């Protein structure tokens, strides 16, 4: 094809000793010298053997998207396609599904170019659980986890 292409995978596991495990798979690819980042996240309840979604973490009446939004803005910047972004933007709501969790931190992942300049790659927003403890369901307020990172 005449185009240079390469990719570098990275797998990060946030291992909950008794309640949760999150897996983040990141692929940084280069096609013709332009980087592109792709990632997938999976968080599991290891006791019930089922996947956890982001809304599962929060109390029903918590308005969690509005609570998390200032953290997203502080990390990611203020514009999307030249317009002020809000927590109600459909692409933002779509991307709230990508997250990982350990005993200290909730991490949200937003696709490359969605809420910051394309060349900044995907945006990872770290939110200490202590900051959102009041809106978390009790079983997620005190996670006992450790971090392991592998690069195949």
Instruction: Report residue 28 CA to chain centroid gap.
Output: 16
CB distance 47 to 21 below 8 Å: no
| pLDDT score of 2 | 46
Reported pTM: 0.75
Give the mean pLDDT of 87-99.
63
Q: Is the pLDDT of residue 93 over 80?
A: no
- pLDDT greater at residue 127 or residue 16: 127
- State the chain's mean pLDDT as an integer: 74
Q: pLDDT of 8-60, one tens digit each? A: 788 999 876 577 899 998 877 776 666 777 778 999 998 889 999 999 999 99
Residues 78 and 124: their CA atoms lie apart, in Å, by 15
């Amino acid at each position: 094809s005449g185009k240079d292409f390469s990719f570098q995978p990275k797998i990060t596991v946030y291992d909950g000793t008794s309640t949760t495990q999150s897996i983040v798979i990141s692929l940084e690819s280069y096609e013709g010298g332009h980087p592109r980042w792709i990632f997938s996240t999976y968080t599991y309840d290891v006791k019930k053997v089922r996947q956890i979604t982001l809304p599962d973490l929060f109390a029903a009446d918590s308005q969690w998207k509005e609570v998390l939004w200032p953290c997203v803005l502080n990390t990611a910047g203020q514009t999307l396609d030249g317009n002020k972004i809000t927590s109600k933007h459909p692409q933002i709501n779509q991307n709230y599904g990508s997250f990982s969790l350990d005993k200290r931190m909730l991490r949200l992942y937003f696709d490359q170019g969605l809420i910051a300049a394309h060349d900044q790659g995907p945006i990872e927003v770290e939110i200490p659980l202590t900051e959102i403890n009041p809106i978390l369901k009790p079983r997620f307020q005190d996670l006992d986890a450790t971090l392991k990172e592998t690069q195949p």
